[in-house]
Structure 1
C-alpha cells in the first residue's frame, strides 16, 4: 500500500477558493502561516489564483502545519501531524483584510464564542458571521456553548450528521430529519441579534436552507446520482460550499436562498479531483474557467433545474 497523496489542505483554503470561483482575488483574503519547509510548488499553486488573496506569515523556527485525512467507508478521520497555529480576528487588523464584511470560521462552538467576543470588541464592525462547526466537536456536550453563540451567527451550517449529533437526534439522514434539525436550531436562537439562517449540507440530498422569514428550501447538489463518475474526492466540499455561499450573498444582495445556488456550484468543482480545482484564465479577457468549465454555465443549469420542478 503506497503513501497517501499530498494536497493543499485546510478548510479555510477550500472556502476561500469556493468564493474565488465567483469573485476576483482582491475581494478575498486569508492568512497563511508558512513554515521553513513550505513547499515552493504550493506557493506557486496558491499564487495562480491571485496573489492578492493571501497574506503569508513566515515562521523560520517551525515547520508548516500538516494534517492527515483518512476514510473508512463514509467515516472521515482527521488529525494534525504537526502543531497548529490559531488565527483570531485580531490577526486581520494589520493586513488589508481588516474588518471584512463577511467572516467565515471553522471551529468548535466554544472557540466560536471567543471569536465572536473579539469581533464585538471592534467598534463598528458587524460582519456576516458564517459558522461551520468543526466535525469532531459536533457533540451534544458542545450544544450549550453553541446556544450562547447563536444570536451572533448569521449563517449556521453543519452537515447533516453533525447537526443531528449536536441535537442528540437519531443519526439516520433523511429530508424530514434535516428539516426538523434546522427548525430546532432556529428555535434555539440563530441570528437573534439580526436575521439568521440555517443551512444543513446533506451530501447527495443537497442542502436545506431555512430562515424565520421564508419557508425552507432544498437546493440540489449539482452532481446528481446520474453523474457520480464526476465525484472523485469530497474533501473540502462543505468548505467550498460555504465560500461560494459568501460570494453568492454579495452577488445576490443578501438573498441566502439564491446564494445557495452559487454554493452548490462551488462544491461541484471541488469534488471533481483530489485537491483544489484548476483555474485557467482567458487570454482575451473573457471569463475564467474552472476545471475547463464556466461557473456561470453551471449556475444557470442548476437554476433551470429548479425552475423545472416548480
Structure 2
C-alpha cells in the first residue's frame, strides 16, 4: 500500500477557527487589552491536530482547513511549519474564514464568553471521503450530543470503518437538557471527555469541582454505558487537579497536570486550546501505547503542557534525524522527556 493510501492515525472534525480576544478584570470590566486576528491563534480542531502532531509525523495526522478570502498569510506560515501533509486546505472565494471572539475574565483568564463572528462551516465524516483523510483510525469531534449522533450515523454508513471515536462535548451544550441525547449516543462513543465543569453541569451536580465530585460524575457516565458493549472510557479533564480516567471494564486513575496554576503559575500563560490539545495527544497515545487509556492520558497531558506555555500554538523549535528517526523539540523541550517525568510522577503517586 502506498504511503499516501494508509489510514491516518488521528483526524479531527473540529472546525478551523481564527480567534480574537478581549480581556476583562475580576469585576468583568474591559481592560482595554485585545489581540487582533493576526496575533491570535486558530483553535478548535487545530489544537487537537497539533496535540497529536507533537507525537506523530504529519502524514499520520489530519485536519481540513477551510480558507476564506481573508485568510491571514501569517497563520498560513505558522501552519506550514508543522508539515503541509497534515492539512487539507479548501479555498472558498465567496465567504470569510470562520472567526470567533473569546472574552476572558480575571488574572487567570477564565473564559467568560465565546461567540462566532462569522458563519460556521461544519465538517462531517462525508467531508473526509475521497480525500487523503478517509477512514482514519481515530476520529475526534467537538459538538453537541445531537450532532454527535449524526456524525456516528455517517460513520456507520461506511461499511468496515470502525474508528475509535473521541468525543469532546461543546461547552455551551453541556447542560442538563442535553443529558438524554448524550446518553443515547454514548454506546457509540469510545472515549467521552468533557471537562469537570461541563461534566457536572450535564449531570446537574451542584458545587465547584472536587475530586470526589468528579469521580462521582465519571461513574455516572460509565453507568450509562460508554462504548460498544460498554467497553469505552471516560476522561474528565480537570485543570490543576489533573485528569480522571476510568473504564467500564474496571480501573481508574488520576493523572496529574504537568503544569498547574497553583504549583507553576508562571508556566500557565494561556489555557486556550489546552483541552483540544489534550485529546489530540490522547489519541496519539492510544496508538503509541497499544490502547492503554491511562498511558494515553499521559500523552494528552504532555500535549496540553506545551499548549498552555504561551499565547497561541505551541512551537516546533527543532527537528533532527538520528538513526533514521526524526527527533523533535517543542517549545525547546522534549515531549518524550516530559512523558518519562510524568510516568514517574504517576508511579510515585500510586506507591503512596
TM > 0.5 between the two? Answer: yes
Report the secondary structure of 1:29's partner residue: strand
Q: Whole-Å Cα distance in 2 between the matches of residues 200 and 103 of structure 1?
A: 18
Question: Match of 2:13?
Answer: none
Indicate conservation of the 8 Å contact 1:161/1:171, yes or no: no
Report the secondary structure of 1:259's partner residue: helix
Indicate conservation of the 8 Å contact 1:138/1:163, yes or no: yes
Indicate conservation of the 8 Å contact 2:102/2:111, yes or no: no
Question: Match of 1:179?
Answer: 215
TM-score (norm 2): 0.86
Report the secondary structure of 1:3's partner residue: strand
Q: Which of 334, 343, 348 pairs up with 1:294?
A: 334
Question: Match of 1:71?
Answer: 104
Question: Match of 2:49?
Answer: 16
Alignment root-mean-square deviation, CA: 1.2
Please say if 1:29 is aligned against 2:69. no
Q: Whole-Å Cα distance in 2 between the matches of residues 212 and 3 of structure 1?
A: 45
Aligned-residue offset at 1:211: 0.4
| Number of aligned positions between the proteins | 310
Q: Whole-Å Cα distance in 1 between the matches of residues 316 and 266 of structure 2?
A: 21
1:220-271 alpha-carbon deviations (Å, 9 max, x no partner): 0001432111000000000000000000000001000111110000000000
For residues 2-13 of structure 1, the aligned pairs below 5 Å read 2-6=33-37, 7-13=40-46
Q: Whole-Å Cα distance in 1 between the matches of residues 321 and 157 of structure 2?
A: 46
Question: Match of 1:228?
Answer: 265
Q: Whole-Å Cα distance in 1 between the matches of residues 318 and 309 of structure 2?
A: 19
Q: Which of 281, 286, 292 pairs up with 1:249?
A: 286
| Shift in CA distance, 72/3, structure 1 to aligned 2, threshold 3 Å | closer
Aligned-residue offset at 1:219: 0.1
Q: Whole-Å Cα distance in 1 between the matches of residues 302 and 127 of structure 2?
A: 31
1:120-145 alpha-carbon deviations (Å, 9 max, x no partner): 11101100000000000000111111
**Which protein has the bigger strand share?**
2
Unaligned runs of 5+ in 2: 1-31
Q: Which of 274, 280, 305 pairs up with 1:237?
A: 274
1:59-108 alpha-carbon deviations (Å, 9 max, x no partner): 01111111011112434311001001010100000210001110000000
Report the secondary structure of 1:276's partner residue: coil
TM-score (norm 1): 0.97
Aligned-residue offset at 1:305: 1.1
